[in-house]
Amino acid sequence: MLAAAEIQTPVGRVAEQAAIPPRASFPVLRGSAGLFASLTFGQAGAWLEPVPDHVIAVGLIVGARPVGLALGTLLPGWAQAELLSVAVTPSERRRGLGRRLLEAWQAEARERGAVEWRTSYNASIPGREALEALLARAGWTGSHASGLVVVGRVGKMVDEVGTWPGVAGRLALPRSYSFEPLELGAADIEAVERYLSDPEAADMLGPIRQAERLALDFSIAIRRDGHLVGWLLAAETSRPLLDTTSDVPAIRYLEAYLDPAYRRGGIMVGAYYHCYSKQMSLLGRDSIAIYYTSHDSRPRMAALTLRRFAPIAERVETILSASGRLPVPFLNMPPNGHPAFRMSDESHSGSI
């Protein structure tokens, strides 16, 4: 243990004798880092062989053993890094290593141009209290509910949503709206960039920046009179979020956007219905649909989700978010000038 040991003698207390801490290092991982893959969740582990340029991976090594990993992303040109996971093996916890690992990850994010970092996680994850304590010790804001994840059988979704009066009417009389394959021309690309400048789209990437990961069979462009007014983007996933459905196909609907001028009238729900119907025809009624909606930027959709989608879903999960950023006086300092990123040798209590 790093904590000092207190010894009693007949004469009274003697000076504390501190145990010698094992040597710990926090290397930035590059190239193949597969030895750390077990320290994060499955899909993210694939990013370690090799580590892509947009991934920030910092390991924790104690006694030549990989015992910790902080993993996140920073897209080119962005100032906000996303922390995906941070973990320390149980045998090395309660020694302050988790905080030092997180600080090392923040330092690397800053070296790459980030001035802010955020993370999102399920409210039901094991070890949530330990994670939140770690973030608090590192100066992050308190966690708050930022959105909802809905997981449902696509056949049931189609059956129920298709009977809702507003949606049924929209489907029967589509008028000037259409849901089309995601094929973008020059005018569409200009529209995407314009929409992404909307403050409500601050957490979105759009259909261009993440084109390689999209499942085009389930991703659509939303058009009005032939003009792009929104999109619904999807990707295949091997994590259906239901314990009994590991072998059932699952589609994660990554991002939904609609021009604010057209958000009333059930257009976006109609877009989901269109994609769910296609998923059902291609993957079957029992395949899984997963989507996220934000409390922060899309409160009306979050309210609709709780009122209409939650009762027909297999699972609804609250998503919590926390964030941190460089203090204002240090924003213009060179990376090595910020005292928050100097690795401390002090020990800290905690489970991470």
Q: What pLDDT, on a 0 to 100 scale, did the predictor assign at position 213?
A: 86
Same domain, yes or no: 13 and 32: yes
Same domain, yes or no: 28 and 94: yes
| Residue 243: both structure tokens together | 């314990």
Same domain, yes or no: 238 and 310: yes
- Predicted TM-score (pTM) of the model is 0.67
Same domain, yes or no: 152 and 190: yes
Same domain, yes or no: 176 and 252: yes
Q: What pLDDT, on a 0 to 100 scale, did the predictor assign at position 15?
A: 36
Residues of the chain with pLDDT under 70: 1-22, 166-175, 239-246, 265, 296-297, 328-352
Q: What pLDDT, on a 0 to 100 scale, did the predictor assign at position 270?
A: 86
Range of the domain at 32: 8-115+326-341
Q: What pLDDT, on a 0 to 100 scale, did the predictor assign at position 202?
A: 73
Same domain, yes or no: 330 and 315: no
Same domain, yes or no: 285 and 196: yes
Same domain, yes or no: 201 and 269: yes
